[in-house]
Amino acid sequence: MMSRLKYIRLFEIICLLFMVGILCIYPKVSAQASTITREGVGSMLTDTTDERTNIDDPGSSEDADDLKELNIANTVTVTYDNGNGELNGSLRILLTLTLISIAPILIILMTSFTRIVIVLHFTRNALNTQTAPPNQIIIGLALFLTFFIMSPTIDTIRTEAIAPFEAGEIEQAEALQKAMQPIREFMYPQTQMKDVSMFMEISHTEWTGEVDDIPNAVLIPSFIISELRTAFIIGFLIYVPFIVIDMVVASALMSMGMMMLPPTTISMPFKILLFVLADGWNLVIGNVVKTFY
C-alpha cells in the first residue's frame, strides 16, 4: 500500500513538472479589453489601465431587469502573436513532439531499416558467433545504412515539403501530402504486386493498377511484408555456404569417431576464416544496399 502511494505521488509530481514546462514554453499572450455599449460593439481597444470598460457605475440599477442586463456585455479580446491569429511556436512544438513519438515507427517500417537489420542478424547467426557483433553495433550500422539509402528521399522531402511550409508558401495539409509522396515513390518499387492485391481484396477496394490509386493504409503493410520476404530470402542465401561447412565438419568428426564433440565448435573458426577471406561484410552490406537501387 505504501509503495502504491509513492507511485501515485511520483506520478503527481511528474504531471506537475509537465504542466510547469508547458507554461514555460507557451508563447506570450497579450490581452486587450474592448468596450461594448448597449447599442453595439465598440471599435476601439482600450489597451490602457485608465479607461473603464463597464457600461454603468455600480449601484446604478433601478430594477431587477436593469440589474440583470448591467455590465454583461463587456468582453475581453485575446490576441496571439501581435494579432495575426497564428500559433507558429505552439504548432511547431506540437508537430515536433508528435514526430519524435512516431519517428521510431517511421524509421523501422517505412524505410530500408527492416531489410538491413534482418539480413545482419541472419549473417551473425550463420557465423554462429552468438553476440559478435553485438546488437548495438548491428542496429547502429543498420541506421547509418538506412540514412545513406534514404538520403535522396530525405532531400526531396526537405526541398518540396519542409522548406515551403516553413516559408509559409503551402498549408500544413499540402505539406504532409508532399512529404508522403517521396516515401511512396521509395516504397512502391520494393513492394510486390501480390501483397498490394491481397490488401486491396481484404479492404474491398478496387485498384486500377496505378501507384497513385494505392492508399497509404494498403501500401505501407504491403511494403512491410515484401521487405520481410526479401530479407528472409537474402538470409537463406547467406546461410547456404555456412551450412555446407557444418556438414563437412560433422562428416569429418563422424568418420573419426568424435561424436561427442559438437560440430559447431569446430566449424565456427572455419566459418570466420571463410567470411574474412571472402570479405564477407563488404559482400553482404554492398549487395543489400544495391537491392534498393
Residue-wise pLDDT tens digits, 57-88: 655 666 666 655 655 544 444 444 454 444 45
Which three cell numbers, joined as nine digits, stand for 80?
496571439
Assign 153 to helix, strand or coil.
helix
Span 84-108, average pLDDT: 70
Which three cell numbers, joined as nine digits, stand for 96?
515536433
The three-state DSSP-derived secondary structure of 3-50 is HHHHHHHHHHHHHHHHHHHHHHHCCCEEEEEEEEECCEEEEEECCCCC
E strand map for the chain: 29-37, 40-45, 75-80
Give all strands of the β-sheet with 75-80 in edge-to-edge order. 40-45, 29-37, 75-80
CA separation, residue 168 to residues 61, 88, 140, 160, 177 (Å)? 52, 11, 36, 13, 15
CA separation for the pair 247, 253 (Å, rounded): 10
* HSE-up of residue 132 (Cα within 13 Å, Cβ side): 5
Span 104-122, average pLDDT: 88
Model confidence pTM above 0.75: no
pLDDT value, residue 86: 47
Span 224-246, average pLDDT: 91
Give the H or E element holding residue 84.
none
Mean pLDDT of the chain: 76
CB 203 within 8 A of CB 213: no
Span 22-49, average pLDDT: 46
Query: What is the separation of C-alpha 238 from the centre of its chain, rounded to a whole number of angstroms?
Result: 31
Span 264-284, average pLDDT: 86
Angle value at C-alpha 144, between 102 and 291, nearest 5 degrees: 95
Which of 25-29, 242-246, 251-255 has the least mean pLDDT? 25-29
CB 123 within 8 A of CB 280: yes
Long-range CB pairs of 32-41, under 8 A, 24+ apart, other chains included: 32/76, 32/77, 32/78, 32/79, 33/74, 33/75, 33/76, 33/77, 34/75, 34/76, 34/77, 35/74, 36/73, 36/74, 36/75, 37/73, 38/69, 38/73, 41/75
Per-residue confidence at 43, pLDDT binned at 50, 70, 90?
very low
Q: Is the pLDDT of residue 201 over 60?
A: yes
Only one residue has cell 431587477, namely 64
Per-residue confidence at 172, pLDDT binned at 50, 70, 90?
confident
CA separation for the pair 215, 92 (Å, rounded): 27
Which of 14-28, 127-141, 240-254 has the least mean pLDDT? 14-28
- Is the peptide bond between 133 and the residue preceding it cis, with omega within 30 degrees of 0? yes
CA separation for the pair 123, 235 (Å, rounded): 7
CA separation for the pair 150, 106 (Å, rounded): 12
Span 211-232, average pLDDT: 88
